[in-house]
Structure 1
């Protein structure tokens, strides 16, 4: 959850119904039966509210992450080519902030997520994730901490707290969200870099491909990581068997949730737990882009965890956040998830057991949504991932 920006300029306002068009699920890619009824195609909901969409800032090149600073200072927005800007309260964008690390801006690589650190009020530390150039056309998912200057124009004391290993020749599937579960650690998500050889690395404990990673804020290994001391294992690994985790958030109870891209079908919502294996590329509810089966050709296997929920066809997830606040109060506790394809925002409600009870498709007309951030008042910001992408604020009409 992030702070409000009460004075943020709202321009180019448009009111749209919560469900602008009739939504239908679409044809499946596979015919795997869900493991339990609430795991797939929950009841479709339509909110009785109109959404007001206001353009806050435009002309951003593939914006990827957004983080609102405390005390009305503005917010930070990353652009995948390697820029980060301050978005001021009056809606103006700063020049690119200086001092950022060099990024590998090829295909899906570049400057990715940004987050305000838990100790920002004392030391102005922020965190970014990015595709780190490793030489000879190689790159890796990395997370770095740095100190934002008082005027917001530069960063200093840049230090990596995590670098994925080994480096990859494929500039794809970096994963790359960073969140703070409230225990003094940082959780970083990674991808498996897409290629046929590398996808198997998601099962390897000596590689941080397709993993949830947990480190202390200085990059050291925290207590409680499950594979510490295991021969050959990377100490930072928290869970394994993931594909390309591009959404992560912590709910009001402090529980970590992630959402990852499947291939054709099989996008997954998970609650990663220490030491557990989430199956990729051995089991999946999707199929390869070629139409061939994934791994074992099964959707479940003993010793591999089932997702809380899956999609087929996909939503191609971006960032996610949990809702709270007076605006859209009926959504409090729901997950809001960016969708890159077919686009818009996916809202999920949960029952008392933490299973999905309903799903709604919102703002499909805006196209590719890369990130979602809920503000203190319950309104929320979305980033549209285009060559001329933008930041929009979503409020109830009126």
Structure 2
């Protein structure tokens, strides 16, 4: 039950460890379960059940009230390898009062195509939990495909976020390490798409009149988005990987172009320069840019009562930084306020029904950790 963390240790109870950030905020960390390459964690609304995707194509759940770990069947075949595999999970908040027995579930994954190509997809199905230790997904149908499928195994992004009004799906579509497609709106690489709940392009999208996949696009010029969430004002924020330097936190605006690969506050991995963002470059500017990078794996905007001082802050799971990065958002600006260091890469972060913070570590034997105030 011991989950070791960085920073100064405080007097935690047996089976837990405590961490103290540089701003004096302390919390306890408890190990709750272990999974194989966990990628996304998501509570089914109105329940204590935490669902976990495992990148190789399996899915499990943790009953956080009883400690029971169960399996989920009915998963799709995934193109596993590199950054690809089974991805994100999303549920409808409107079904919070429904029994866990049957509810809508959205999943993303990497799908193989012809000629050694791959692309992200999102499917919609019905989650049926008829047993304490087993659930099944029925009628899982693909409702969206990243266009086009390309070679390689990186930058799928495929994070899913449902708008606060419960009407629209927002899907992060990475540029698949191809760069230039991010500036070409005839495809959906390097974009955020906005869809109806059935996967069709939503009315009011900025290029809806152009038809085809262009009608799906909400914003473009992105690189590799791995976290999206909504603030109390109903605004969408995202965090994405830069190249060598230049990770970004962005406030997502309708029709905005975020500049990749024409502008970045990083440089190419071979050292070739990329012009930095500037106020007059015509692109949407990052609210925060990190060099050295934080290597974000996921992000939430915290809204709970348990960590009251953190309300409205972004909590970013760091991969290479092995840290939970806290960012205070103030209007249209933001600033990093603390880093809580862990001893492994952090892949995903989620807020529990009671306001506790849940983190999934990256990699084989990735632990799911629960954070509560000391």
TM-score, normalised by the number of residues in structure 2: 0.90
Counterpart of 2:159 in structure 1 is: 177
Deviation at residue 260 of structure 1 after TM alignment:
0.4
Q: Name the CA shift for 1:57/1:240 in 2 (closer, same or farther; >3 Å).
A: same
Instruction: Determine if the alignment matches structure 1 residue 163 to structure 2 residue 145.
Output: yes
Cα distance in 2, alignment partners of residues 386 and 231 from structure 1:
40
Cα distance in 1, alignment partners of residues 45 and 256 from structure 2:
35
Instruction: Determine if the alignment matches structure 1 residue 191 to structure 2 residue 174.
Output: yes
Cα distance in 1, alignment partners of residues 168 and 15 from structure 2:
39
Q: Name the CA shift for 1:390/1:298 in 2 (closer, same or farther; >3 Å).
A: same
Which of 14, 17, 29 is equivalent to 1:15?
17
Check the 8 A contact 2:296/2:318 in 1, yes or no. Answer: yes
Q: Name the CA shift for 1:291/1:12 in 2 (closer, same or farther; >3 Å).
A: farther
Deviation at residue 396 of structure 1 after TM alignment:
1.1
Q: Unmatched 5+ residue regions in structure 1?
A: 1-10, 20-45
Q: Name the CA shift for 1:263/1:276 in 2 (closer, same or farther; >3 Å).
A: same
Which of 73, 92, 111 is equivalent to 2:86?
111
Which of 364, 375, 379 is equivalent to 2:352?
375
Counterpart of 1:321 in structure 2 is: 300
Deviation at residue 232 of structure 1 after TM alignment:
6.8
How many correspondences in the alignment?
Answer: 352
Instruction: Determine if the alignment matches structure 1 residue 308 to structure 2 residue 281.
Output: no
Secondary structure (helix, strand or coil) at the match of 1:13 reads coil
Cα distance in 1, alignment partners of residues 269 and 14 from structure 2:
39
Cα distance in 2, alignment partners of residues 283 and 186 from structure 1:
28
Counterpart of 1:384 in structure 2 is: 361
Q: Name the CA shift for 1:125/1:202 in 2 (closer, same or farther; >3 Å).
A: same
Q: Unmatched 5+ residue regions in structure 2?
A: 1-12
The structure whose RCO (Cα within 8 Å, separation 6+) is larger is 1
Cα distance in 2, alignment partners of residues 150 and 67 from structure 1:
16
Counterpart of 1:208 in structure 2 is: 188
Instruction: Determine if the alignment matches structure 1 residue 72 to structure 2 residue 72.
Output: no
Cα distance in 1, alignment partners of residues 26 and 200 from structure 2:
47
Counterpart of 1:90 in structure 2 is: 66
Q: Name the CA shift for 1:127/1:233 in 2 (closer, same or farther; >3 Å).
A: closer
Q: Name the CA shift for 1:313/1:12 in 2 (closer, same or farther; >3 Å).
A: farther
Cα distance in 2, alignment partners of residues 237 and 254 from structure 1:
19
Secondary structure (helix, strand or coil) at the match of 2:126 reads strand
Deviation at residue 375 of structure 1 after TM alignment:
2.1
Higher strand share: 2
Cα distance in 2, alignment partners of residues 64 and 392 from structure 1:
14
